[in-house]
């Protein structure tokens, strides 16, 4: 666990450096290695350096969909080397989102901040998302999300795995932006480019 430092993804690296940080499965195992992942297809996200970042910076993350079945991007501390997990109970996360192009998807889908843990004993993931939808505008739109340890403010989407919010929020190995309709995360049919920038978490409230 690393509870003391704010994690800040500002995407101020080169596109080549970012490509090298993408998470990929390790053949012959259940394991993966890397720092970022997206769907779908797997890892189509890319880093853009055009000087139009959310805080006047060079870089930002482009999540591009073309009739995408899933539409998400995440940081993957569980797959870092060395591995990390964070106790994010009652902390804060912030990020900027922007519709770089118009984004279309099936009716009823919205973006949310989500978390996952991983249990090695049974190779299972358990995920929750905050009920508060994230806001996306034609300009960079600031989102602040408090990760309050109260199940009334979250939805568990990774059924039938049913670990409690307290369990998952205390050992977060994955965190990011995902589109949901109720507990569904497949069937988005997303087309367009979502910009993500200045993603911070493990912040004090």
Q: How far is the C-alpha of 105 from the C-alpha of 68, rounded, in Å?
A: 9
- Contact residues for 30 (Cβ-Cβ < 8 A; gap 6+): 123
The token pair at 66 is 């073309």
Q: Which residue's structure tokens are 């090298």?
A: 20
pLDDT at site 159: 77
* pLDDT beyond 60 at 1: no
pTM, full prediction: 0.96
pLDDT class of 162 with cuts at 50, 70, 90:
confident
Torsion of CA 55, 116, 18, 109, to 10 degrees: -60
Average pLDDT over residues 7-30: 96
From residue 1, give the alpha-carbon distance in Å to each of 31, 84, 92, 176, 200. 19, 6, 17, 18, 17
The β-bridge partners of 174 are 116
7-181+195-204: CATH topology is: Jelly Rolls (2.60.120)
Cα–Cα distances (Å) from 88 to 25, 37, 64, in that order, read 26, 20, 28
Place of tokens 């591995």: 83
Q: How far is the CA of 130 from the CAs of 2, 31, 45, 90, 177, in angstroms? A: 22, 27, 23, 12, 10
What would the pLDDT profile of 171-198 be if each residue is shown by its tens digit? 999 999 999 999 999 999 999 999 999 9
Tell me what pLDDT residue 3 has: 56
Q: Which residue has the tokens 């505008």?
A: 137
Q: Classify the phi-psi angles of 16: left when phi > 0, otherwise alpha if psi is within -120 to 50, otherwise beta.
A: alpha
The pLDDT value given to residue 200: 98
Q: Stretch 88-117: mean pLDDT, rounded?
A: 97
Cis check: omega of the bond before 140, within 30 degrees of 0:
no
What's the CA gap between 135 and 112, in Å, rounded?
9
Q: To 5 degrees, how large is the angle CA 139–CA 142–CA 143?
A: 135
Any idea where the domains of the chain sit in the sequence? Answer: 7-181+195-204
Pairing of strands 141-147, 46-49: unpaired
């Amino acid at each position: 666990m690393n509870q003391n430092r704010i994690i800040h993804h500002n995407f101020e690296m080169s596109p080549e450096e970012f490509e090298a940080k993408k998470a990929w499965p390790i053949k012959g195992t259940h394991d993966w290695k890397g720092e970022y992942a997206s769907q779908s297809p797997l890892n189509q996200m890319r880093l853009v350096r055009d000087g139009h970042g959310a805080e006047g910076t060079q870089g930002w993350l482009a999540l591009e969909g073309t009739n995408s079945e899933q539409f998400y991007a995440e940081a993957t501390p569980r797959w870092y080397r060395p591995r990390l997990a964070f106790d994010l109970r009652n902390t804060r996360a912030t990020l900027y989102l922007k519709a770089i192009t118009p984004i279309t998807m099936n009716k009823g889908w919205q973006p949310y901040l989500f978390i996952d843990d991983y249990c090695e004993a049974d190779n299972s993931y358990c995920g929750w998302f905050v009920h508060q939808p994230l806001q996306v505008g034609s300009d960079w739109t600031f989102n602040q999300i408090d990760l309050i340890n109260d199940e009334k403010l979250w939805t568990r989407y990774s059924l039938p795995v049913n670990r409690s919010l307290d369990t998952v929020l205390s050992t977060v190995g994955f965190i990011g932006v995902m589109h949901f309709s109720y507990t569904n995360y497949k069937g988005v049919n997303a087309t367009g480019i979502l910009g993500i920038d200045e993603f911070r978490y493990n912040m004090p409230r």
